[in-house]
Amino acid sequence: MRLTPVLLLLALVPGLVLADAKAELGTAFDKLLDAPSFRASMSDAGSGEKYVDMEFQAPDRYRIVNAQGGPTMIVVGDQAQMDIGGRMMTVPVPINSIVSAYRNEEAMRKQRETMVVEALPDATLDGEAAKVYRYTTQHPKPATATAWVGANNTLLQLEVDGGAAGRGKVVRVRYRDIGSSAIRIP
């Protein structure tokens, strides 16, 4: 009968580990949401093909560079301008509603409510030590992702399974220069 408390404790440990992993990953997401600036690159994790490079400067400024040679976009609040041949032209679409999805606190809260997180073995990413987490979520649609978190709870990279809509592709988002004062968007 003395084993019963030990068995009960062992039964609870996986739940505690999952809760800790979820809290740790949540801290990294919060840090990114609170960052005054960052740079991010999006690419195909399989082929390495780069899609876009993005810079963010709080509270609502983005520079988006299409890696396939398309025009650069500058988004400030609800207004977007596109550099076409050296001329800035206003884009008549609600681009901010699209771009702001990357920093939507309400969407992040809903995502976290359905998130199940597991800690994977630690790894290195570009020579930097990282904790690695895999998580699934049901919001806004079912998805599986892997996150690398570096020193000081800094989100280094996400890889998100594109599912059927992504035709089996895994999208990699590599973050850098989080909080850099060198990021200036006009």
pLDDT tens for residues 118-177? 999 999 999 999 999 999 988 778 889 999 999 999 999 999 986 555 567 899 999 999
Note whether residue 74 is domain-resident. Answer: no
Q: pLDDT band for 112, please (50, 70, 90 cuts).
A: confident
Note whether residue 62 is domain-resident. Answer: no
> What pLDDT score was predicted for residue 3?
39
> What pLDDT score was predicted for residue 96?
59
**How many structural domains comprise the chain?**
1
> What pLDDT score was predicted for residue 35?
93
Look up the domain containing 149 and give its range: 3-53+103-176
Note whether residue 58 is domain-resident. Answer: no
Note whether residue 66 is domain-resident. Answer: no
Which class for 66: exposed (0-12), middle (13-18), buried (19 or more C-beta within 10 A)? Answer: middle
The enclosing domain of 147 has a CATH number of 2.50.20.20
Around Cβ 180, how many Cβ atoms within 10 Å? 15
Strands, sheet with 128-137, edge to edge from the N-terminal-most edge strand: 87-91, 79-84, 72-76, 61-66, 50-57, 37-44, 170-176, 154-161, 143-150, 128-137, 116-125
> What pLDDT score was predicted for residue 185?
92
